Amino acid sequence: MKKEFIDPWGSELPADYQKLIKSFGLERFKLEDFPKPNKIMRRGVVFAGRGLDIITKAIKEKKKFYCLTGMMPSSDKIHLGNKLVIDNVKYFQDMGAETYVLIADLEAAATRGVSIEEARKRAMDYFIPAYIALGLNPGKTKFYFQSQNKSVVALAFELSNKATLNEYRAIYGQPTPSRIMGSVLQVADILYPQLKEEIPGVIPVGIDQDPHIRLARDIAKRAKDKRNFFLPSSIYHKYTPALDGSLKMSKSTGNFIELPDTDENIKTKIMKALTGGRKTLEEQKRLGGQPEKDMVYELFKQHLIESDKEFEKRWQDNKAGKLTSKEDKEYAVELMIKFMHDFKKKFEKAKKTKIQFLEE
């Protein structure tokens, strides 16, 4: 996937994403349907969905709906890219969604060799406080461990006969027993809130997760003989580009910002980010920058600048050659360090929050 960023609002969707919408049969995200949209919605980072009408209807009519996400309690930290999911979950939580966050400990045991005990520790020490620090309201969020939720497990076994091995092959290439089990369980997670109450739900994910959403929707459809499930809705954000402009974030190249990251790391990583800057200062002034190709502008857009006005002004100033890449980077470093200090403070506070876990 080539990355293109045409304008600060992403209102012209890059050709690759248009193709994706067409070939996956997605719905184009309609900003006007969402009250008080968050900045990644306003700026075209959120670009598509499935079955969103039922969710926007519920928001407008103040009817019940749910929003669900999960965390994989492995030894990796989350990074800024994961934050986009939380931004959307927080959006729906603020719009009144019953919010579920599952800790995928059984999946981690199956696919990452993480023991249930390690997973619990990682979730308690890091993932749950991090999710809260990113904006989830702990008092309004139903957290559960897969391993402690008998209803989810039973639903997974029940639904396991609703998809064929070939369908898993289509998702995974070579499906392994662990991946199949993890995947079936994921579908059960997505549908589980509907066991308690027949309400629609929305799953915010990166576009790369769409195959899982499709599977969940297919299985929900095929379970109609016994279960009256709403097909789960979904909302997609674009791939998060790595700081060097490559598609894949990687530990070895350090091209992404972890949560938390040190001031020093932040500085090093941002200062070597790929920009749309010209070769010389003279050229930059004459031709202007190319913020649509600039990873620092991606940081501004997705994470660092809340005000649309400020963001647009900066974009235009860069385009007009009034800002150098160095200035942009220094500003990004400043904002990111501020963000990170704030994150750390919230993280430490969240660690002391008592969580009431769902158990069934």
Residues that bind a copy of itself (CB under 8 A): 105-107, 109-111, 113, 115-116, 147-148, 150, 153-154, 156-158, 160-161, 163-165, 168, 174-178, 180-182, 184-185, 226
Question: Is the four-CA dihedral 191, 192, 197, 203 of positive or negative sign?
Answer: negative
Between the alpha carbon of residue 64 and those of residues 157, 187, 198, 216, the distances in Å are: 27, 21, 9, 21
Nearest CB to a copy of itself, comparing residues 198 and 283: 198
DSSP assignment string, 297-354: HHHIIIII---HHHHHHHHHHHHTT-S-HHHHHHHHHHHHHHHHHHHHHHHHHHHTSP
Q: How far is the CB of 181 from a copy of itself (least distance, A)?
A: 5
- Specify whether the CB–CB gap between 182 and 156 falls below 8 A: no
Q: How far is the CB of 193 from a copy of itself (least distance, A)?
A: 18
Q: How far is the CB of 189 from a copy of itself (least distance, A)?
A: 13
At 330, list the tokens: 């220094």
Q: How far is the CB of 154 from a copy of itself (least distance, A)?
A: 5
Nearest CB to a copy of itself, comparing residues 130 and 156: 156
Q: How far is the CB of 115 from a copy of itself (least distance, A)?
A: 7
Q: How far is the CB of 108 from a copy of itself (least distance, A)?
A: 9
Nearest CB to a copy of itself, comparing residues 58 and 110: 110
Count CB-CB contacts under 10 A for residue 111.
17
Strand residues in the chain grouped as ranges (E): 27-28, 46-50, 66-71, 98-103, 141-145, 201-206, 233-237
Nearest CB to a copy of itself, comparing residues 97 and 220: 220
Q: List strands edge to edge, sheet with 141-145.
A: 27-28, 46-50, 233-237, 201-206, 66-71, 98-103, 141-145
- Specify whether the CB–CB gap between 79 and 256 falls below 8 A: yes
Q: How far apart are CA 91 and CA 251, in angstroms?
A: 30
Q: How far is the CB of 176 from a copy of itself (least distance, A)?
A: 6
Q: How far apart are CA 232 and CA 217, in angstroms?
A: 6
